[in-house]
Amino acid sequence: MNIFLRILLMVFAAAVFSACGLTIEGVHYGWPVESVLSVGNQNLVEDGHHGLSFSVAQIAEEEFKDSTALRGQTVRLLRSDEGYYFLTAKGFKNVYVMKPGSGQLSLKSTIAVSSVGLKEPALNQRPPYIELLDGNSVIRLTRDDMVEGKKQ
Amino acid sequence: MRQLSRIAYLFTLLFASASLLLAQQSDYAIKRNFDTTYKSIFNRVEAANSIGALDSMKSEMDSLELRNLPHADFLDKALYPDTFVDRIRSLRTLHSLTYEKVYLIQTQGLKVEELETKIIYLTGKLDTLTTQRDRLLVELQEAKKTNTQYREIIRRLQANLQAKDRLIFALVDSIFLPYGKDSAQISDLHREAIGRKLEKANVLTRVEEIAGENAAFLSVTQLQPKDYGSVIDQYQQFSNRWKGLREKITAAVLAGSKYGTGAISGPSGKAKPGAPAPPPETPGARVDSLLLLWESRLQTMIWDGITKEFTTKGITVDPFHDGPSFASSIRNYMNTLKASGQDASTFVNDVWKARIDKEWREALVKPGVLGSAEYAALDREVSQLTRPAIDVKFIVYSVIVILLALAVWWFFIRKPKNVAPAAKKP
Give CA–CA dist A85/A37, Å, rounded: 13
Q: Of residues B116 and A108, which shows the higher confidence score?
A: A108
- Asked if A124 reaches chain B (Cβ–Cβ under 8 Å), the answer is yes
Give CA–CA dist B285/B31, Å, rounded: 70
Nearest to A33 among B23, B24, B28 (CB): B28
Which of A21-30, B101-110, B269-278, B395-404 is least confident? B269-278
Give CA–CA dist B344/B347, Å, rounded: 5
- Asked if A138 reaches chain B (Cβ–Cβ under 8 Å), the answer is yes
Looking at residues B413-421, what average pLDDT do you find? 63
**Residues near A62 by Cβ (< 8 Å), separated by ≥ 6?**
A96, A110
Domain contains A11: no
Q: Of residues A60 and B339, which shows the higher confidence score?
A: A60
Closest-CA distance, B251 to chain A, in angstroms, reads 58
> For A77, which residue in chain B has the nearest alpha carbon?
B28
Q: How many helices (H) and strands (E) does chain B have?
A: 16, 0
Give CA–CA dist A21/B17, Å, rounded: 51
Domain contains A8: no
Give CA–CA dist B95/B219, Å, rounded: 64
User: What total of structural domains would you count in chain A?
Assistant: 1
β-partners of residue B179 are: none
Encode pLDDT of B359-376 as tens digits.
Answer: 898 889 988 888 889 999
Residue B346: how many other CB atoms lie within 10 Å: 13
For every residue of B207-221, DSSP letters joined together read HHHHHHHHHHHHHH-
Asked if the model's pLDDT at residue B390 lies above 70, the reply is no
Q: Report which of B244, B226, B249 is spatially closest to residue B363, judged by C-alpha positions.
A: B226
Encode pLDDT of A87-124 as tens digits.
Answer: 999 999 999 999 999 999 999 999 999 999 999 999 99
The ipTM of this complex is 0.79
Give CA–CA dist B389/B396, Å, rounded: 15
pLDDT of residue B40: 95
Domain contains A12: no
pLDDT of residue B266: 34
Residue A90: domain span? 27-148
Q: Do B74 and A32 touch (CB under 8 A)?
A: yes
Q: Do A133 and B24 touch (CB under 8 A)?
A: yes
Q: Which residues on A lie below 8 Å from B29 (Cβ)?
A: 122
- Asked if A32 reaches chain B (Cβ–Cβ under 8 Å), the answer is yes
Asked if the model's pLDDT at residue B238 lies above 90, the reply is no
C-alpha distances in Å from residue A12, one per residue of A8, B145, B261, B320, B359 = 6, 133, 87, 124, 127
Domain contains A4: no
Contact (Cβ atoms closer than 8 angstroms) between residue B135 and residue B85: no
Looking at residues B331-345, what average pLDDT do you find? 85
Tell how far CA B26 is from the center of its chain.
70
Contacts of B392-400 with CB under 8 Å at 24 or more apart are none
Entry pTM: 0.45
What are the phi and psi torsion angles at B247 (to 5°)? -60, -45
User: Based on the number of CB atoms within 10 Å of its own CB, is B243 exposed (0-12), middle (13-18) or buried (19 or more)?
Assistant: exposed
Angle at B361 between CA B356 and CA B366, to 5 degrees: 140
3-class DSSP state of A122: strand
Tell how far CA A69 is from the center of its chain.
21
pLDDT of residue A142: 95
DSSP state of B225: G
Give CA–CA dist B14/B20, Å, rounded: 10
